[in-house]
């Protein structure tokens, strides 16, 4: 048997993969390639798997594009509310009065115990001059029921 790489006579060859072709090499040359333990089917099935992964990625990317215009309540809405309130030198009570809501409601919002309704969110955004909605980065972001209506409304607006 001869090594296909250096041509040396050898008693034992190893099948390795170098730049997608399989060759029989001697022990000295086998470090140049990746050793293959199974038959020829391996390379093609590996390519098929890679292809499948690539396809999946492409699909994932395009659905992300679809999501780009969708917005939902920011995960850190409670921090945004609290920060803006403090910046405006308002107590929870004062903010509640401005919004015509109870102080306990503001406390719940700032503890993330409660998500604001669409109406309340808009009032908070206007009063505190903040943005509580943010773009959804991926489809895995959990959807909230309160933002669902708004999302559909956005879509209708875009289409008409
Ligand atoms: Zn060799």
Distance 112 CA to ligand 1 centre (A): 66
CB-based contact 51:28 (threshold 8 Å): no
pLDDT at 97: 97
pLDDT at 127: 97
> Encoding tokens for residue 125?
């955004």
Distance 43 CA to ligand 1 centre (A): 22
pLDDT at 67: 47
The residues, any chain, with a CB within 8 Å of residue 64's CB and separated by 6 or more, are 137, 138, 139
Distance 40 CA to ligand 1 centre (A): 20
Q: What is the pLDDT of residues 79-111, one digit of tens each?
A: 999 999 999 999 999 999 999 999 999 999 999
Question: pTM for this structure?
Answer: 0.44
pLDDT at 115: 95
The three-state DSSP-derived secondary structure of 107-151 is HHHHCCCCCCCHHHHHHHHHHHCCCCEEECCCCCCCCCHHHHHHH
Angle of helix 118-128 versus helix 77-87 axis, rounded to 10 = 30
pLDDT at 146: 47
pLDDT at 151: 58
Distance 38 CA to ligand 1 centre (A): 20
All domains of the chain, ordered by start, with CATH?
A: 1-38 (no CATH), 71-159 (1.10.260.40)
pLDDT at 46: 63
> Encoding tokens for residue 138?
């991926």
pLDDT at 38: 54
Residues 107, 110, 111, 112, CA torsion sign: positive
Distance 7 CA to ligand 1 centre (A): 6
DSSP letter for 11, please: S
Distance CA 7, CA 38 (A): 23
Q: Which residues surround ligand 1, an ion (CB under 5 A)?
A: 3, 5-6, 8, 25-26, 29
> Encoding tokens for residue 96?
């509640």
Name residues of the chain where pLDDT drops below 70: 37-46, 48-50, 52-69, 137-160
């Amino acid at each position: 048997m001869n090594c296909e790489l250096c041509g040396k006579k050898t008693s034992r060859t190893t099948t390795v993969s170098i730049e997608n072709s399989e060759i029989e090499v001697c022990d000295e040359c086998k470090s140049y390639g990746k050793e293959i333990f199974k038959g020829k089917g391996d390379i093609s099935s590996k390519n098929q798997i890679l292809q499948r992964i690539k396809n999946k990625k492409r699909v994932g990317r395009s659905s992300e594009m679809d999501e780009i215009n969708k917005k939902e309540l920011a995960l850190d809405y409670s921090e945004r509310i609290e920060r803006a309130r403090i910046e405006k030198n308002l107590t929870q009570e004062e903010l509640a009065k401005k919004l015509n809501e109870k102080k306990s409601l503001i406390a719940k919002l700032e503890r993330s115990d409660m998500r604001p309704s669409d109406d309340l969110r808009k009032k908070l955004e206007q009063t505190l001059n903040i943005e509580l909605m943010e773009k959804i980065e991926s489809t895995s972001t959990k959807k909230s029921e309160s933002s669902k209506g708004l999302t559909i409304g956005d879509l209708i607006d875009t289409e008409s």
